[in-house]
Amino acid sequence: MNAEIIAVGTELLLGDILNTNAQYLSQKLAELGFTVHFQSVVGDNPQRLEQLATQAKQRSDIVIYSGGLGPTADDLTKETVAKVYGDPLQFDQQQFERIRGFFHACSRNMPENNRKQAMVPAFGETLDNANGTAPGALFRDGEKIAILLPGPPKEMIPMFEQQAIPRLQKLQKAVLVSRVLRVYGVGESALEDMVGHLLEGENPTAALYAKPAEVIIRITAKAATSQQAEEMCGKTAQQFYDILGDCIYAEADQTLQQTVVQVLAEKGLKVSTAESCTGGLLSQRITAVPGSSQVFECGVCSYANTIKEKLLGVPADVLEQYGAVSPQTAIAMARGSKALSGADIAVGITGIAGPDGGTPEKPVGLVYISVANGETIWVYKLLLAHRNRETVRFAASQKALDMVRRVALGLEMKDCQCFEM
CB under 8 A: which stretch of 78-86, 221-229, 260-268, 281-289 binds a second copy? Answer: 281-289
96 binds a second copy (CB under 8 A): no
Backbone angles phi, psi at 326, to 5 degrees: -160, 155
Min dist. Cβ of residue 209 to a second copy (A): 5
On the 0-12 / 13-18 / 19+ scale of CB atoms within 10 A, 296 is buried
393 binds a second copy (CB under 8 A): yes
User: If you count them, how many residues does the chain have?
Assistant: 421
Compare residues 121 and 150 and give the one whose CB is closer to a second copy.
150
Compare residues 99 and 330 and give the one whose CB is closer to a second copy.
99
Angle at the Cα of 145 from the Cα atoms of 142 and 148, rounded to 5 degrees: 145
Instruction: Write each residue from 30 to 69 as x if it is in contact with a second copy (CB under 8 A), else as -, in one continuous string.
Output: x-----xxxxxxxx-x--x---x-----------------
Site for a second copy in 326-385 (CB under 8 A): 340-341, 354-357, 365, 383-385
CB under 8 A: which stretch of 88-96, 222-230, 302-310, 313-321 binds a second copy? Answer: 302-310
Site for a second copy in 137-156 (CB under 8 A): 152, 154
CB under 8 A: which stretch of 210-218, 315-323, 369-377, 402-410 binds a second copy? Answer: 210-218
273 binds a second copy (CB under 8 A): yes
**Residues 6 or more apart from 295 whose CB is under 8 A from it?**
261, 264, 265, 269, 270, 271, 286
Compare residues 235 and 310 and give the one whose CB is closer to a second copy.
310
Dihedral angle, C-alpha 26, 31, 37, 38, nearest 10 ° = -10
203 binds a second copy (CB under 8 A): no
421 binds a second copy (CB under 8 A): no
Please compute, for residue 383, the number of CA atoms within 13 A of its CA located in the half-sphere on the CB side. Answer: 9
Angle between helices 188-195 and 226-244 (to 10 degrees): 110
Compare residues 18 and 418 and give the one whose CB is closer to a second copy.
18
On the 0-12 / 13-18 / 19+ scale of CB atoms within 10 A, 178 is middle
